[in-house]
Structures are given as structure tokens and as C-alpha cells.
Structure 1
Amino acid sequence: MEFCDDCGSMMKAEDGVWVCGSCGAERARDAADESSMVTTQGQEESEIVDTSEVEAEDMGPTTDAHCPECGNDRAFWEMKQIRAADESETRFFTCTECDHKWREDDH
């Protein structure tokens, strides 16, 4: 990712140059610099972990949360960053009774 020296906006790669979407400034691309950049392209998604044989006390923290499936009022919870780094994390719940999974902003 590159940022414009003139206005500070994020630049986009186009035809061998970086182009600022705000002010139109251009800068030549440098293959050596870009080889050290981290991208999401080609990265694998995280593996699904089977927790069916894990003891309840080893599952992690619990909290008061109403399960929309069975009505139970206790759930395991975890926080995950699923959006851009400048946005807040999302809290995921798993019912301690029926193992139903939902996230905080589900309705």
C-alpha cells in the first residue's frame, strides 16, 4: 500500500505507476519495495477447529447472553477482527447448551 506524498490519500496501482485517487498524483512503482508488502491475495482462511470433545471449562470465558435458538442465558464468547483494522472487533457467541453460534450484531 502506498500513500500520496501530496495529499496523504491511499494510492492505487495502475499500469506500472501508483495513482492517487484524490489528487491524481503519480509515482513510479518499485518492484523491490512491493515484494516486501503483505497482501491478502493468496492467504488461506483460518482452519475450523473441532471443539466437540473439549471440556466446558477449557472452552474459554462465558457471559450472560440469550441464545436465540434454545433460550439459554449463558454463552461462550470470543472477539475476532473480521473487518478492516480501523473498525471494531466482532464478538461471537456459542450457546453453552445447544452449541448454536451467533454474533453480537445478528438480530
Structure 2
Amino acid sequence: MEFCDDCGSLMTPQDGVWVCPNGHEKARDSEKEKSMVTTEGQESSEVVDMSDVDNADIGPTTKAICPKCGHDVARYEMKQIRSADESETRFFTCVECDHKWREDDH
């Protein structure tokens, strides 16, 4: 990854130079790029079969009422999807009907 010295944006390689979304350019350094790590070719299209896994074994659960079926247990995970000074968003999946919903702090 290369970041723009002027604005801090992520740069992409184009025609032998690094270019940021704001139009700033920086010369490419082939020696420096040898140590860069790429995600190219690391994508996995392998499907994981979870059909034989018990719901209790798939992450933590909590008491939460499913808005679809009314069941009171759901798996959850928390993700930071907004700026760092905002609270995390909680994502729930009902263990009974697999309905998914989210809960934000306001």
C-alpha cells in the first residue's frame, strides 16, 4: 500500500506512478515495492459448510428478542462501522430462524 504524502489518501498504481483520488502523483520505487504485500490471488471462493455445526458452537450468544419470530436467543458480533469515536454496531442472528438485524447506539 502506498499513501499520498499530500492528503493521506490510498494511492493506486497507474502508468508507472502512484496516483491518489485527489490527483496527486508520486514516482514508483521498484525496490520498495518488492517488500509490499498484496492481496491479489488471495481471494477464496471456497464455501464453508456450516449445516452440521450446532448453533451453540457458532460464536457467542445473548438474550435478544428476534423481531421476526420472537425467539429470545441470538448470536452476535460487534463491528466498528463508523468513526472510532462512535460506539460499535451490534449485529444479531436469531438461532431459531436465522433472521439478522442490527442495533446501534444513538
Q: TM-score scaled by structure 2? A: 0.59
Tell me if 1:34 matches 2:44. Answer: no
Which 4+ runs in 1 deviate beyond 6 A?
86-89
Alpha-carbon contact 2:55-2:95 (below 8 Å) kept: no
- Unpaired stretches in structure 1, ≥5 consecutive residues: none
1:102 — aligned with what?
100
| Alpha-carbon distance, 1:73 to partner | 2.1
Count of residue pairs brought into register by the alignment = 100
Change (3 A) 1:55 1:23: closer
> Which amino acid is 1:16 matched to?
G
CA–CA distance in structure 2, aligned partners of residues 16 and 72 of structure 1: 57
Change (3 A) 1:40 1:104: farther
Deviations 1:59-93 (A, max 9, x none): 44222322233111221213457x79x79865432
1:64 — aligned with what?
63
CA–CA distance in structure 1, aligned partners of residues 31 and 101 of structure 2: 41
Alpha-carbon contact 1:9-1:22 (below 8 Å) kept: no
Q: TM-score scaled by structure 1? A: 0.59
1:48-59 to 2 correspondence within 5 Å? 48-50=48-50, 52-54=52-54, 56=56, 58-59=57-58
Cα RMSD (Å) of the superposition? 3.7
Percent same amino acid among aligned pairs?
54
